[in-house]
Amino acid sequence: MTEDTILASASVQRVIAVLAQAGMTERVRVLSDTARTAEDAAAALNTVLGSIVKSLMFTVEGAPVMALVAGDRRCCTDALPRALGSAAQAERAPARLVRDVTGFAIGGVAPVGHVQALPVLIDASLQRFDRLYAAAGHTHCVFGLSWEELLTLTGGTVVDGLGLSAD
């Protein structure tokens, strides 16, 4: 696939539209290497792993919820239902549900531009970084943003303890 073909895809265009609406033009980058995982993205961007925003989807009481977690952390699934005021357990969402709710395939799930509204919970540890990078709707696309832009674009709720040290 060429860069133009990738950028023209419907999923990447949804992300570009959200960014443009927020006045954040020319942010989506097409990488020659995959950004399917946080490790891949960090290597391709020559940045620290923690600055990569992982967009992870779970279900709580059967309803989808998005967790945005630093690349060097793992998601504390116990924090998800607590943040939503539920006593239920969080379950990893199956790939089909991720695609149906977000409109993105796993490996390119962006934190914005979802086809259905869903709650977004944000790992407070992401604010350690001046510059963050998130998937932009394709396994070779990312966009850069600040902590403040992440909060504004997603309308998410910051949750202390959502990201656990991967050690």
pLDDT-derived band at 4, boundaries 50, 70, 90:
confident
Q: What is the per-residue pLDDT for 164?
A: 94
pLDDT (0 to 100) of residue 3: 87
Q: Mean of the per-residue pLDDT values for the chain?
A: 95
Cβ atoms of residues 20 and 7 within 8 Å: no
% of the chain exceeding 70 in pLDDT: 99
Q: Does residue 82 have a pLDDT over 90? A: yes
pTM for this model (two decimals): 0.96
DSSP string computed for 13-41: HHHHHHHHHTT--S-EEE-SS--SSHHHH
Residue 69 has pLDDT above 80, yes or no: yes
In this structure, the strands spanning 163-165 and 73-75 are antiparallel
Q: Which amino acid is residue 132, in one-letter code?
A: L
pLDDT in tens, 106-159: 999 999 999 999 999 999 999 999 999 999 999 999 999 999 999 999 999 999
- In eight-state DSSP terms, residue 66 is E
> Given the DSSP bridges, would you call strands 120-123 and 63-70 parallel, antiparallel or unpaired?
parallel
The answer to whether 136 and 142 have CB atoms below 8 angstroms apart is: yes
Question: Residue 167 pLDDT more than 80?
Answer: no
As its CATH architecture, domain 3-165 has Alpha-Beta Complex (3.90)
**Per-residue model confidence as pLDDT tens digits over 89-107:** 999 999 999 999 999 999 9
**Domain residue spans in the chain?**
3-165
Task: Give 27's pLDDT tier (boundaries 50, 70, 90).
Answer: confident
Instruction: Please tell me whether residue 110 adopts helix, strand or coil conformation.
Output: coil
